[in-house]
Amino acid sequence: MKFWILNIIYIILGILLLPALSAQAQLRLPGGASLSIKISPEFPDPGAEVRAELLSYSLDVNRASITWALDGKALASGVGVKEVSFKAAAHGAKNTLSASATSPGGERFETSVVIRPQSVDLILDAKSRVPHWYRGAALPISRTRVVVSAIPNFISSGARINPSSLQYEWRVDRRLISDFSGRGKDSISVLTPGLGEVAKEVMVKVSSSDASLVKEARAMVQAFSPEILFYERLPLEGIKTSLALRTKNLFAGGEFEVQAVPFSMNYSSLSDLSFSWSFDGNATDPLSGEPDTLLVKTGGGSEGQSGLIGILVSNLKTLFESVNASFDVNIQ
């Protein structure tokens, strides 16, 4: 009996409270349309092409009459004109993009966004080595550390902002690296992937202290194979760096010196490396005191012959870092 009485009481209470609950739900409904502008790219470079889209969850922008203005000047207008494109301002300047939308019923709504283009460059510093005369950069190799540094060029009120006062948020493959993030932390150390593995995406978000200036930059970190290139060494001129040897042609009875040069190997000095030379598969000795250089001599009557000079360079300080290379010698 008590069970039935309780059920009747719950039913009566539910009927009495239903109008109140309905009124509360109606109060939560939005009273007007909300507009927003989506910018792509989100943080454009100075002078870059920018695409803007007008968004609303309560107004049908496809049927609304839309007017766009850029820095106070008319940009585009018409029914359903929800997208526009323009060029971002120059470095240190800003754009003010505004949009107004009028519904078919005559209701008018407005929104605007300020765009302040800034720039950030990323520099990768691999710990591998290249010869001092090589103008290019050393490439990162498998399972080594690479330092990625951000070089921001933020301008406000005509003056460059000190990079040490900016905030840096670093991510590797979208994962926040909090230890390297914070005020003035403009670099990060990243372990390179193995050979054949997917490259790592390094991203930094740089912002001013009040977050009014923001810019993102990305770089892909991948592993490259170290390389050995051969260069002829001339008696008076030294190493001929303008051309790496792929094939060497010389007359019978002639001779030449060849130097093996490592590119992007992880070593401090030549003493960290071992050089094993061969001629047609047979071991041969380098010049005395110069393990990276071989003297090649040809005998008289050897016209028309050819041979293969090879080398195996191994890193004595690092396991599994060895590089093979070879080139052909043709005797005329």
Mean pLDDT of all residues belonging to the chain: 89
pLDDT per residue as tens digits for the range 148-166: 999 999 999 899 999 999 9
Q: Partners of 121 in the beta sheet?
A: 151
Segment 27-56 shows an average pLDDT of 82
Q: Residue 3: what pLDDT?
A: 38
Give yes or no for residue 18 having a pLDDT over 80: no
Domain 227-331 has CATH 3.90.580.10: no
Alpha helices in the chain (DSSP H): 2-27
Q: Which of 31-45, 238-252, 306-320 has the lowest mean pLDDT?
A: 31-45
Q: Can you tell me whether residue 27 is helix, strand or coil? A: helix
pLDDT per residue as tens digits for the range 54-80: 999 889 999 999 999 999 999 999 999
Segment 313-318 shows an average pLDDT of 92
CATH number for 35-115 (one of 2.60.40.10, 1.10.3720.10, 3.30.70.100, 2.60.120.560): it is 2.60.40.10
Please write down the long-range contacts of 245-248, taking CB distance under 8 Å and 24 or more positions apart: 245/327, 246/327, 246/328, 247/327, 247/328, 247/329, 247/330, 248/296, 248/327, 248/328, 248/329, 248/330
Q: Residue 320: what pLDDT?
A: 81
Segment 307-316 shows an average pLDDT of 96
Give yes or no for residue 221 having a pLDDT over 50: yes
Q: What share of the chain is helix, strand, coil (3-state, %, to 5)?
A: 10, 50, 40
CA distance 219 to 199: 10
Query: How much of the chain, in percent, has pLDDT values that exceed 70?
Result: 90
CA distance 270 to 134: 17
Give yes or no for residue 319 having a pLDDT over 90: no
Interstrand relation of 322-331 and 247-250 (parallel, antiparallel or unpaired)? parallel
Give yes or no for residue 126 having a pLDDT over 80: yes
Q: Residue 33: what pLDDT?
A: 55
Give yes or no for residue 30 having a pLDDT over 60: no
Ranges for all domains in the chain classified under CATH 2.60.40.10 = 35-115, 119-221, 227-331
pLDDT per residue as tens digits for the range 280-300: 999 999 999 999 999 999 888
Reported pTM: 0.78
Query: How much of the chain, in percent, has pLDDT values that exceed 90?
Result: 81
Give yes or no for residue 10 having a pLDDT over 50: no
Q: List, in order, residues 6 or more apart from 65 with CB less than 8 Å away.
A: 77, 78, 79, 101, 102
CA distance 119 to 154: 7
Give yes or no for residue 21 having a pLDDT over 80: no
Give yes or no for residue 25 having a pLDDT over 60: no
Domain 119-221 has CATH 2.40.40.20: no
Q: Residue 299: what pLDDT?
A: 81
Give yes or no for residue 2 having a pLDDT over 60: no
Q: How confident is the model at residue 303 (pLDDT cuts 50, 70, 90)?
A: confident
